[in-house]
Every structure is written in structure tokens, then in C-alpha cells.
Structure 1
């Protein structure tokens, strides 16, 4: 049986995979570019196919303790008036909404005693043959592994090295997301507040003991560099210049924050998720959505891959066939999600708000 597996990325998919590989008799090593826990982005859901996985890991009580306190969505008009309120979908059983960094942290803590973690390092070269993969790191000494898994997100290093440049597989939607934490409780601890103007949204989202703000907007950004924090802040400020309500105050918070997330919303579409002894999981293989589905799919996909590897012959093909069945419908729904979240025109906003009032649970 294949034993030594290198996982690139200590996020949701990487830590879940490390946990299950260790329990299946493998020896996982996880390399993570960041020096520690990373900033998260928006709250995400643990639902559907992810629920039995986290139940089997015994982490549901910790997920519940870290879950957000959101119960309703309040939609505001351009002048700040409330125009619709919609109840959020009820959690079923052990489903939760949780800040992404908390989810990643809980998964890491579940895996860390049984896996090796190399923080503040990255893969720089992969050379594979029929028996294994020789890996060169930025800091650690070179090592050889039986398999390598890229769980390193939308801008995957493993995918770039083993499959080709990002632009061959990543399709931007023209939508960008920027988030940061308030560092203090939200004014309305059970309400997600969404303020729209055409093509722009500001969301205030409560969590346990704090709150966060998200800027989601349509824009064409030339020469996008996902690591250029100074430019990220400038792009957001320019996108929301002249927008009313509380936006100037929230922009000031964003500009002053050191811990922010910014990226383009994109779809990842590869003809195959594996090449020889290298494969991909999570967003590196199939970044999918605007509405929090990606983390549930990452958990489910990591578990499917770990189970497939129990019978090494054809494992990657079985994993990919099974998990693509879950991914395809979510990727097809991205356009609809964008239309609901970010209507392009005032008429589109009015239509969305009317539909929200008429939706079951809306008013």
C-alpha cells in the first residue's frame, strides 16, 4: 500500500485529508505556505455530504461552539431602508454555518497529532517517476513521497507545477470578494445585513463575539495579483467610491485592517484532476461557488479521496468520478448565485428584493 503522502495546503481540504489518511494507515505530511492559521474570507457552511464526515471525526460539538449566530438576512435599499427580510435556511441535524478560519483551525487540530505539518514553506519543484515523486521545498530539505496532493486552493502551486499555468484552468467570473473582521460584536448579532447598489454589495455578518464585513462587486481588474494587499485595498476603495449608507465608515475599517482577504471569484475546470502520482482536491481541483458550498465539497472530496486510496489501483479515477457528481451542479449554479447576490441594474435589484419578500419565510 502507498504510505507516504505529501499534501500541499493546511486548509479545509488539506487537514481533512491528513486526518483520514492517517486513520487509513498512511503517513501524511502537510506543507503550508503560511506561518500559521490564515485569514478566512466569508463564513461557510458545513452541510450535505460534509456532515457525515465531520460526525465521524467527532468534531461536531466544536463546530457548533464556533458557529455563527445568523438567523435572518435583511436586504437594504440604496438609501439604507430595509426592503425585505428572509429567514436563513434552517440547519438540519449537525449542519452549521461557521467562519472559515475557525473551520480550518478545528480540522487542523483534529489532524495535527497524527500528521506532520511543515509551516512557512512551499513546494518549488516536483519530479515524478513510476515509483514516487521527488519534492523540492523552499526551506526544508528535498524528500521523496509516494503521492502528492494539491489542496492549496484557487491559486494552487501543485496545479501550476504539475498541470500548467493558472490561466489554462481558472475562469474568472468578473466578481471580486474582499473581507475583514470588525474585531468587535456586530450591531445585530442574529442578522446578516446586505446593502446593494447595481453590481456592488456590502455585507455585515455576525459571528460569535465579533462581526465581519464583506465587499462583493463586479469589476474588470487588469494584471490581478492575489498577493498584492496594497492594490487590493485600492481596488475596493475605487469600486465603492461615492456609495452611501455606512460604506465610507466600513471602507475606513477595511483600509486600516492588517488581516484581510481579497480574491477574484473564479471557476476551476480541469479535464483531469490527476497526473501520474499527483492529484488535486478542494478548490485546487474545482473551485465552485459564491455561497459557501466550497468548504462542504472540500471536506467531502478529501474523505472520498482518502477512502479511494485504500485500494490504490485506479484510486484517483474512482475519486474523481464520484466527486465530480457533487461538483458539477454547484459550478452550473454560480451564474444564478451571482445574479441573486449582485444584480447589475436597479431594475434587477428591485426584482430581486420583491422576490425575497414573496419567498417562503420572507417579508
Structure 2
């Protein structure tokens, strides 16, 4: 696929999330500070503030503590208890990594699909190539696999030759490969006292939705607006959740529906899906993608 064929007149930029994070960090005001390699070993809501103990032993006091530490959030576990109460596995694993090789295809995006597994390659704005695998797997704990490249070789053993070849260009370092399960997070509430969960820690949508990073950014913007317009912290947090929860609910429902047909497991379902895709007019497929992105932009505008 060429991105331009599917998003028509919409502006776009393919960018790594790490580059986005770096850009956001660079525009922080002087009053903000970042401490790399730091962790939170404990926190206590004192009523008028949150007392936070860092892994280094230092103690901080804050009006509000935000846990935005991913869908396996340590903050969430300390706040609401065991992960098992809120994890909603979709039956897939995924892996992402950078490819240490130049792009050798003419389009912006290439996908190799087989029953139960897909491998996708994205051309980035600076000529780099990013890879993603998604596969059905009933095994548990694969995210703790030490030989991650070896696991991907197992998953891709019958894949297209290009997939197996590009696996040889992962930098040959297992720490450059991310593997985890596709798991949604469902919580009855996202805050307690002066502690709030944000992004995937609160409402992971998984990559099936295509909305995880976008909704995390929109949620942060909504929170900022709520804190500015409401004098009371608890009113601000309640207002933030009231506006965001219906949107997250719709996106999670969509993710469940899409997950069921995301990667066909049987050979028949796989061939049927391919037949439909192959004979669907490109203009119709492009209109579908374009309308979906426009609706997401309108949604983001409403949330902010």
C-alpha cells in the first residue's frame, strides 16, 4: 500500500513513537523535569497531597500523581490490586522492532499474511523501516521469553522468505525486540483520591483499535482542560472520566469485534478474507480508511 492512496487529501507523517516522545519532552516548560531511569517504589495519599517514594529513596510531594506506565502498570496494581481483575486478553501476541536494513520495496507499507500470523513493514519518514508481527497464540507468558528473536523465527517458520530474511536484520539484540500480548484493560474507575491512571494503564485499547497513542494524547489534553476550568481536583478528575469513558467504551467494543477477524486462523477463513480483499475496489477500500481517519480527527477535536 501507498499511504497517499488511502488517506487521500489528509496530511500525514509516519513517525516512530520514540521520536514523538522526544519531541514532546523537548517542549516541556522549564518548570518541568524528567528523571530517566527512575522508578516509584511507593506512594501514599495524605489527603492534601500525595507522598511519593522513588526507587532512589527520595520523597516527593505532589497535588496529583498520574500513573501512565503502560498496560502492565505498576501504579495500577498498587492502586487497585491484582492485574487479573482488569486484564482482557484478545488471544494474540505482537512484536515490534526496528529493521537494520534499507527499505527495498516501492510502497510505504507491505504486509505478509498467513493463517494465524501477519508481518508488517512500515517505511518511516527518515528512510528507516519498522516491523510488526501479530499472531494467534494460546500460550501464556511469552512476553517473558528470553530468546525473542528465536520465538519470532518459530512463529515465522513458514512465512514468506522476505519475512525470514528481515528477521536477520533486527540488530541481533533481543533487547531491541518487544513482545507482549494484545490485552485490553477494563476498570470501573480510573482514579482514587489524588492518584489517576492515564493512557494504556487506565484503558488499553490494543493496537487492533489503532487508537492507543491518539487517545492517550487526547486524554492528557482533556485532563489539562479539566484541571484549568475546575477549581476542585476531584471535580476535575470526575469531569475528565465522564467525558472520556463513553469514547473508550465504543473503541473497546470495536476492538473486540475486529479482533475476532483480525487474523483468520483457518485456511478457509484466510482464503475467503483474501478473496474479498483482492476483489474489493481500491477506491472503496481507500474511502473506508479515509472516512475512518476523518471520524477519528473529529472525535479528537470533540474531546479537546
Mark yes or no: TM-score above 0.5.
yes
Q: State the secondary structure of the residue aligned to 2:178.
A: strand
Corresponding residue of 1:324: 245
CA drift at 1:342: 1.1
- Are residue 148 (structure 1) and residue 69 (structure 2) matched? no
SS in 1 for 2:96: strand
Is the aligned partner of 1:230 residue 2:149? no
- Which residue is 2:212 aligned to? 294
Q: Name the CA shift for 1:90/1:267 in 2 (closer, same or farther; >3 Å).
A: farther
Deviation per residue, 1:30-61 (Å, 9 max, x gap): xxxxxxxxxxxxxxxxxxxxxxxxxxxxxxxx
Structure 1 CA distance for aligned equivalents of residues 26 and 64 of structure 2: 23
Consecutive unaligned residues of structure 2, counting only runs of 5 or more, are: 287-304
Structure 1 residue 157 corresponds to structure 2 residue 74: yes
Question: Quick check: 2:112–2:160 contact (8 Å CA) kept in 1?
Answer: no
Contact 2:203 2:248 in 1 (8 A): yes
Q: Is the 8 A contact 1:202 1:247 kept in 2?
A: yes
* CA deviations over 1:66-113 (Å, ceiling 9, x no partner): xxxx7259xxxxxxxxxxxxx433363x55443222222211222264
Aligned to 2:235: 314
Q: Give the one of 125, 129, 138 matched to 1:220.
A: 138
Which position in structure 2 is the counterpart of 1:168? 85
- 3-state SS of 1:160 partner: helix
Where 2:242 maps in the other structure, the secondary structure is: helix
SS in 2 for 1:98: coil
Q: Tell me, in whole angstroms, the C-alpha distance in 1 between the residues paired with 2:215 and 2:192.
A: 21
Choose the corresponding residue for 2:107, options 164, 168, 190.
190
TM-score for both structures, normalised by structure 2: 0.83
Q: Structure 1 residue aligned with 2:2, among 71, 78, 93?
A: 71
Question: Across the two proteins, how many residue pairs are aligned to each other?
Answer: 278
| 1:144–1:175 CA distance, 2 compared to 1 (3 A) | same
Deviation of 1:352 (Å): 2.0
Once the two structures are superposed, residues 190-235 of structure 1 have per-residue CA deviations (whole angstroms, 9 ceiling, x without a partner) of: 33111111110011111121112211111123234x4x46243333
TM-score by length of 1: 0.70
Q: State the alpha-carbon separation in 1 of the partners of residues 159 and 282 from structure 2.
A: 31
Aligned equivalents of 1:107, 1:220: Cα separation in 2: 37
**d(CA) in 2 for partners of 1:134 and 1:153?**
22
Structure 1 spans left out of the alignment, 5+ residues = 1-69, 74-86
Cα–Cα, structure 1 residues 231 and 173, in superposed 2: closer, same or farther, change >3 Å? Answer: farther
**Residue pair 2:49, 2:64 contacting (<8 A) in 1 also:** yes
Matches of 1:216 and 1:315 in 2, distance apart?
A: 38
User: Could you tell me whether the CA contact under 8 Å between 2:90 and 2:259 is conserved in 1?
Assistant: no
1:347 paired residue number:
268
Cα contact 1:268–1:283 (8 A) shared by 2: yes
Question: In structure 1, how many angstroms separate the alpha carbons of the residues matched to 2:195 and 2:161?
Answer: 49
Partners of 1:223 and 1:127 lie apart in 2 by 31
The separation in 2 between residues aligned to 1:356 and 1:114, in whole angstroms, is: 52
Give 2:296's aligned residue. none
- Asked if 1:211 is matched to 2:129, the reply is yes
Number of the residue aligned with 1:250? 166
Which structure: greater helix fraction? 2
The structure-2 alpha-carbon separation of the partners of 1:185 and 1:262, relative to structure 1 and needing over 3 Å to count, comes to same
Q: In the aligned structure 1, how far is the partner of 2:163 from the partner of 2:107?
A: 21
Structure-2 separation of matches of 1:353 and 1:111: 46
| 1:111 corresponds to | 28
For residue 263 of structure 1, the aligned residue among 176, 180, 183 is 180
